[in-house]
C-alpha cells in the first residue's frame, strides 16, 4: 500500500479549517494532536451525530505514525488469520488506533488526507458498534464496512466540489482488480468513464 502522490487534481479543497500537523514525529499521538480541528468540522457531526459519542471518539482515538510505506488503516486489536501476505500490521489491543504512514502524512494532498482520516474514523465507529473490519469471508469492495466508509467520504468530498476524476483515482486502490474498481464506482454513484 505505497503512498504515491496521486496525479489527478481534486479541484475542490477540504474546509479551510481542516488542519494537519505534517511534521509530527513517529510514534503514538492523540488524533487531535495530528489533526487538531477534526472534531470541530461539520463532517465530524455528520459522522457521529451524538455529541457524547463524538467527544469520546475523538478523545480516545490515537494515531500511530510509522515509517512503513503505507497509507492509513485501523490497527487490529489482535493478529488475525488470513492477513494479506507480507502485511505486518501494528496491533493495538488496548485502544483505537489509526496507523498512518509518515510519507502519506507529509506529502499527500489535504484532500486525500481529509478523505482518508474520516474513512478510518468511520471504521472506528463501526468497530465500536460491533463490526468486524477484517471479515475475510467477503471481498474488499463488497464488505459493507468499506462501502459505508467510502460512501461517507465520497459524499463529504462532493460537498467541497471534488471532481469525479479525482474520486475515481482515489477509489482505485492497489489491492483491488479493475472489475472491483468499476463495481465500487457504480455502488458509490461515481460515473465510470
pLDDT at 175 over 80: no
Do 6 and 169 touch, CB atoms closer than 8 A?
yes
Average pLDDT over residues 35-40: 97
Q: What is the pLDDT of residue 2?
A: 34
User: For residue 134, is it within any domain?
Assistant: yes
Report the number of distinct structural domains present in the chain.
1
Distances (CA, A) of 84 to 28, 55, 159, 192: 24, 33, 34, 28
Q: How confident is the model at residue 141 (pLDDT cuts 50, 70, 90)?
A: confident
The residue among 6 and 185 whose pLDDT is bigger is: 185
Q: What is the pLDDT of residue 3?
A: 40
State the distance between the two ends of the chain, measured CA to CA, in whole angstroms: 24
Q: Give residue 90's domain range.
A: 27-188
User: For residue 3, is it within any domain?
Assistant: no
Q: Which of 26, 1, 30, 33 is nearest to 116 (CA)?
A: 1
User: For residue 71, is it within any domain?
Assistant: yes
Q: What is the pLDDT of residue 86?
A: 64
Residues 6+ apart with CB under 8 A from 76: 89, 91, 92, 133, 134
Q: What is the DSSP letter of 106?
A: H
User: For residue 183, is it within any domain?
Assistant: yes
Average pLDDT over residues 31-41: 97
Average pLDDT over residues 116-141: 89
pLDDT at 33 over 80: yes
pLDDT at 29 over 90: yes
Residues 6+ apart with CB under 8 A from 177: none
User: For residue 100, is it within any domain?
Assistant: yes
User: For residue 41, is it within any domain?
Assistant: yes
User: For residue 125, is it within any domain?
Assistant: yes
Share of the chain above pLDDT 70, in %: 90
The residue among 23 and 181 whose pLDDT is bigger is: 23
User: For residue 4, is it within any domain?
Assistant: no
The residue among 13 and 155 whose pLDDT is bigger is: 155
- For the stretch 52-63, pLDDT in tens is 999 999 999 999
Q: Which of 147, 119, 113, 98 is nearest to 14 (CA)?
A: 113
- For the stretch 77-122, pLDDT in tens is 888 666 566 668 888 989 999 999 999 999 999 999 999 999 999 9
Q: What is the mean pLDDT of the chain?
A: 88
Q: What is the pTM of this model?
A: 0.89
Q: What is the DSSP letter of 11?
A: B
Q: 123: which 3 cell numbers? A: 471504521
Q: What is the pLDDT of residue 21?
A: 97
Q: What is the DSSP letter of 17?
A: T
Amino acid at each position: 500500500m505505497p503512498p504515491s502522490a496521486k496525479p489527478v487534481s481534486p479541484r475542490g479543497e477540504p474546509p479551510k479549517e481542516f488542519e494537519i500537523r505534517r511534521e509530527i514525529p513517529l510514534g503514538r499521538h492523540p488524533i487531535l494532536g495530528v489533526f487538531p480541528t477534526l472534531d470541530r468540522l461539520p463532517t465530524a457531526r455528520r459522522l457521529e451525530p451524538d455529541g457524547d459519542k463524538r467527544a469520546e471518539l475523538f478523545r480516545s482515538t490515537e494515531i500511530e505514525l510509522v515509517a512503513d510505506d503505507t497509507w492509513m488503516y485501523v490497527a487490529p486489536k489482535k493478529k488475525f488469520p488470513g492477513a494479506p501476505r507480507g502485511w505486518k500490521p501494528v496491533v493495538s489491543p488496548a485502544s483505537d488506533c489509526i496507523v498512518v504512514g509518515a510519507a502519506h502524512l507529509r506529502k499527500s494532498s489535504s484532500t486525500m488526507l481529509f478523505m482518508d482520516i474520516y474513512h478510518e474514523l468511520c471504521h472506528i465507529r463501526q468497530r465500536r458498534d460491533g463490526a468486524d473490519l477484517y471479515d475475510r469471508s467477503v471481498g474488499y469492495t463488497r464488505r459493507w464496512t468499506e462501502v459505508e466508509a467510502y460512501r461517507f467520504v465520497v459524499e463529504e468530498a462532493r460537498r467541497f466540489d471534488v471532481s469525479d476524476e479525482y474520486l475515481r483515482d482515489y477509489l482505485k486502490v492497489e489491492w483491488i482488480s479493475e472489475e472491483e474498481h468499476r463495481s465500487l464506482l457504480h455502488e458509490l454513484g461515481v460515473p465510470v468513464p
